[in-house]
A = this chain, B = another copy of it.
């Protein structure tokens, strides 16, 4: 029925989505390794458990509730209709030029990314089961609702439409990253700092991560996976135009990461006189987050510069949040929140279809919704199950109290 050319386009676009989706899924491993490397040994098993379990929770809740909420495709209970093909349209009318299940697969791994951001910020003190309960709500409702206002094209509570206001967020600097950071910030505020992080004199005490090779590996994984994250967000590749766009996105994503690395490396060098690897890793991620809002229009030079600025900013943001006694063991709020916002604000520099006002309104809308609703959910959990482990459990470490097993049981620790 379809022309052979169409069949091939359909096949290529679908395959491209699946490859990009697999790369984004791989980012879950990146977050897990990054966080496992930056916490202390005694909380490693627990953070690994959180990271891998939240991925499963995100997949299931997004299938059960979130995807329909966000895109309103009429696919029925638990997406029972998703196995048809995009040509015919799932529940009629809307037709896609690729497989609907490939679209779901690509979207679902984004949800998990948003949630992964939270786990790092609340690490080393939050209860495992309370965390997973929050994950259920964020991935089923909080994220899909703001997603419906942006990528879903729906009105914000029937009041205004972000797209009409000139809001543009290519792959989710705001929709995914800043949203994750907003949820994390709400959690951290209710949770408080790790014991010992700020001493009696009010000074910041360093709590070094236990395994920097793991953290570096995690960053490399995220760097690689981000090609899928941004590259897949072109949403098509089977024509000269879209292929060019995907290629530009890959190139710029890479250049921004490189710029972010150099920015953070130099900032840390100037501030401390040493090459702080953990800042370098955050710089890479900052470069990636900043370009995510618009990787298709900047020149490679501009992408590098945007990354550079983000890399410098993230260093100051991390130091600043610490001064405010907002304890974020992995720097997630700075990397994804502060830099995510920067990414949104930089879009109009290269993309004429976006307006600065639209970006600001969009950012405020997303942040407010996610922060407030998350705060409510965290507060509810705090009032019922509790969100923080006991002081004794915190001292002993989450590995034994939550998971009953150490991450490195044979190694002596200092």
Contacts and interface: CB of A to CB of B under 8 A. Distances in A.
A105 B278 CA distance: 26
A224 B255 contact: no
Interface residues of A, number: 126
A345 interface: no
Q: Identify the interface centre among A19, A79, A300: most chain B CB within 10 Å of its CB.
A: A300
Contacts of A110: none
A26 B220 contact: yes
B63 A247 contact: no
Contact of A238 (B8, B23, B213): B8
B246 A208 contact: no
Contacts of A247: 14, 17-18, 98-102, 105
Chain multiplicity (copies)? 3
A125 B12 CA distance: 48
Contact of A52 (B55, B281, B407): B281
A254 interface: yes
Interface in A20-50: 21-23, 25-26, 28-29, 32-33, 36-37, 40-41, 44-46, 48-49
B55 A258 contact: yes
A199 interface: no
Contacts of A251: 82, 101-102, 104-105
Q: Identify the interface centre among A8, A100, A208: most chain B CB within 10 Å of its CB.
A: A8
B49 A275 contact: yes
A243 B210 contact: no
A300 B278 CA distance: 39
B255 A213 contact: no
A53 B41 CA distance: 26
B10 A243 contact: yes
Given A224-B25, A265-B53, A411-B414, A208 B98 contact: no
Contacts of A148: none
A4 interface: yes
A410 B405 contact: no
A45 B277 contact: yes
Contacts of A370: none
Contacts of A219: 52
B21 A259 contact: no
Nearest to A215: B48
A22 B77 CA distance: 35
A138 interface: no
Contacts of A214: 213
Nearest to A273: B404
A41 to B, nearest CB: 5
Contacts of A78: 299-301
A59 B256 CA distance: 10
A237 B275 contact: no
Nearest to A401: B274
A211 interface: yes
Across the A-B interface, give the 8 residue pairs with the lowest CB-CB distance, nearest first: A29-B220, A274-B404, A99-B247, A56-B258, A102-B247, A78-B301, A56-B261, A59-B258
Given A14-B246, A32-B217, 12 more contacts: A4-B5, A11-B239, A12-B12, A21-B250, A32-B216, A52-B284, A55-B261, A56-B258, A99-B247, A101-B251, A275-B403, A411-B413
